[in-house]
Amino acid sequence: MELFGLYHYWVFAILLMTGFYAVIAKHNLIKKLLGLSIFQSAVFLLYITMGKVEGGTAPILQAVLADKPFSNPLPQVLILTAIVVGISTMALGLGVVVRIKEEYGTIEEHEIQEIDRQ
Amino acid sequence: MTELSHHLPALQVVVPMLSAPLVMLLRPRGLAWAAATAASLTAFAIAIALTIGVLDGHDFSYNMGSWPAPYGIELRVDAFSALLLLVVTGASTLALLAGRSSVDAEIDPQRQPLFYTAWLLALAGLAGMSVSADAFNIFVFMEISSLASYILISGGADRRALPAVFKYLVMGTVGATCYLIGIGLIYLMTGTLNLADMELRIDQVADQSPTLVAAGFITIGLALKAAVFPLHVWLPNAYTYAPHGVTVFLAACATKVALYLLLRFDFFLFQPNLAGHDLQFAYFLMPLAVLAILIGSAVALFEHNLKRLLAYSSIAQIGYITLGASLVSLTGLTASILHIFNHALAKGTLFLAVACLATRCSGLNLSNIAGVAGRMPWTMGAFVLAGLSLIGIPGTAGFVSKWYLISAALGEGVIGGLLVAIIVVSSLMAVVYIWRMVETAYFGTAQADAVSGEAPAALLAVTWTAALANLYFGLLSWLPVTLSTSAAELLVRQVP
């Protein structure tokens, strides 16, 4: 069935929505960041899977492999960059959470709002 | 072209980016500021040189590392990007020149070199987003500028800056990731990341639905970054609690660059290649723009904190920009692009004046600035001038873009008439909220513990330069008008 033949898109969509749900629904700031990370990882998978060619080898120029198909290396390179961006975002986000904990004494979103309202 | 001017598009990004780590090493007091300002001034000079080149009629195209265009990363400067570069580098330079005293007051001296490093990275990222013609490269620059702006905003003295940054970080990352999904889908269909090449190849793709989905993801992602209503919730607190100099810089250009990308993608890439995209774009953005204009202005009417009031006014002004674009016409787009420039000018000046007030007032609520005009006549003079420009009084920059916007709306028949009415109502609301501040400052009774004296001279001089620029571009508006007309022509040429 074609619907399940493209299963990696399903993985992408389900992971994406799992992460997005956590970002929206969770009150704990760390859990929000975890959701954000899952959200980003889903997109990494979308890129990685698109570059794979069935039976494809590594894109290295060699006489033995000259007539073999090879996988597209570009998406992997792109995602290498995107992973770095994701790590930086995560590090900065966790740093902000630490500072919030220092200032407010809590990392629950509604408690922070409660404190600010006073 | 000479050898150096050929490299200008790359230098526009490279100068602030390479100055950033250098600035971090400059520990003696004031040196970091001086170096950052010098780098920003250089970037501004490069932007002016690029603009002069574009006005002479040649667009710049630069192949990074000499890899030819569809394979390597291409940087491209045309009228639209030149206008944005002027706004970005100009805002950064003015804010840095003005901001030393306010940064000294707000940021721990030990951390100032790091603060200026983040500033230059934000500048490099925003400039990179404006010059790059490679979709993935734009994503990287977007994240560089966003991460740096999160750091800048979290430098605010008030602890409420931290939850504001967290919200901005989460929403900004979701926006950037949506953009990345859109780019991925287009790459999947066309196998290219170069915008010009994409435009040609999307045409050859038989199945339009992935492109349609990509257009949705890219539009939503960039709308999040641009704080298009109702995706604006990160903006008011981020602007309110950021250090004052940072607010000047970011309010003038951070959302504008995202809007620039939104227009570029939707008009350049999707309009010519997706059946009915112009209608979808208009139906999607026009109601949101109208809501942004009305709700943003209405909330500003009842705000008491000056910075938050101006932030809500920004949401309304972003509404004007998207409204012009949603008309999908040459005049509409010209108005929209012109307003990017003029709003940056007016709002930048207003926030500069607020930074002046902050040096002498105990807080930034309306009650804190009661009767302040007697003691700070120059600050309030600049504030009034910029306020008039924000409202759109003839003779100021704000008038020019509203004039274009209204004439564009009038070309649209009945709906156009309604839109004109909305623009007029919102301008009247702007009169009211600007007047509330002016009235309090001029006719309010001063607090007993009020500090006397004007703002520092450097801050005041920059504020007045910006205020006079509002007048200058209101009376002699050929530069922004020429640039935005040719930018709109570039974009609309693609509309059938």
Could you tell me if B181 lies within 8 Å of chain A, comparing CB atoms? yes
Residue of A nearest to B170 (CA): A36
* Mutation target vs B (from A15, A78, A94; most B CBs, 10 A cutoff): A78
Q: What is the pLDDT of residue B494?
A: 52
**Residue B43 domain-assigned (yes or no):** no
Task: Name the pTM for this structure.
Answer: 0.92
Minimal C-alpha gap between A64 and chain B (Å) = 27
**Residue B141 domain-assigned (yes or no):** no
Q: What is the pLDDT of residue B415?
A: 83
**Residue B307 domain-assigned (yes or no):** yes
Domain at A2-117: CATH code: 1.10.287.3510
Provide, as residue numbers in chain B, all residues whose Cβ is less than 8 Å from the Cβ of A16.
Answer: 181
* Mutation target vs B (from A45, A46, A50, A92; most B CBs, 10 A cutoff): A92
Whether A85 sits inside 8 A of B154 (CB atoms) is no
Provide, as residue numbers in chain B, all residues whose Cβ is less than 8 Å from the Cβ of A33.
Answer: 170
Whether B166 sits inside 8 A of A20 (CB atoms) is no
Q: What is the pLDDT of residue B417?
A: 86
Q: How many domains does chain B have?
A: 1
Whether A97 sits inside 8 A of B166 (CB atoms) is yes
**Residue B191 domain-assigned (yes or no):** no
Share of chain A above pLDDT 70, in %: 94
Whether B173 sits inside 8 A of A104 (CB atoms) is no
Provide, as residue numbers in chain B, all residues whose Cβ is less than 8 Å from the Cβ of A50.
Answer: 184, 187-188
Q: What is the pLDDT of residue B350?
A: 92
Exposed e or buried b per residue across A52-85, where buried means at least 16 C-beta atoms within 10 angstroms of its C-beta: eeeeeeeeeeeeeeeeeeebeebbeebbeebeeb
Minimal C-alpha gap between B240 and chain A (Å) = 14
How confident is the model over A54-96, as pLDDT tens digits? 777 777 777 776 677 888 888 888 999 999 999 999 999 999 9
Provide, as residue numbers in chain A, all residues whose Cβ is less than 8 Å from the Cβ of B213.
Answer: none
Q: How many CB pairs under 8 A join A and B?
A: 68
Minimal C-alpha gap between B162 and chain A (Å) = 6
Residue with tokens 């961006």, as numbered in its chain? A85
Give me the average pLDDT of each 10-residue run along chain B (496 residues): 78 91 84 91 93 86 85 88 92 89 82 90 94 92 94 87 92 94 91 86 83 91 90 90 90 90 89 81 88 92 90 92 88 91 92 87 80 83 91 88 89 85 91 90 74 79 90 87 87 63
Residue of A nearest to B172 (CA): A89
Minimal C-alpha gap between A94 and chain B (Å) = 9
Nearest CB to A89; choose among B139, B147, B162: B147
Could you tell me if B65 lies within 8 Å of chain A, comparing CB atoms? no
- B394 contact partners, CB below 8 Å, separation of at least 6: B474
**Residue B298 domain-assigned (yes or no):** yes
Q: What is the pLDDT of residue B496?
A: 40
Omega into B28 within 30° of 0, i.e. cis? Answer: no
ipTM for the complex?
Answer: 0.93
Whether A36 sits inside 8 A of B170 (CB atoms) is yes
Provide, as residue numbers in chain A, all residues whose Cβ is less than 8 Å from the Cβ of B188.
Answer: 50
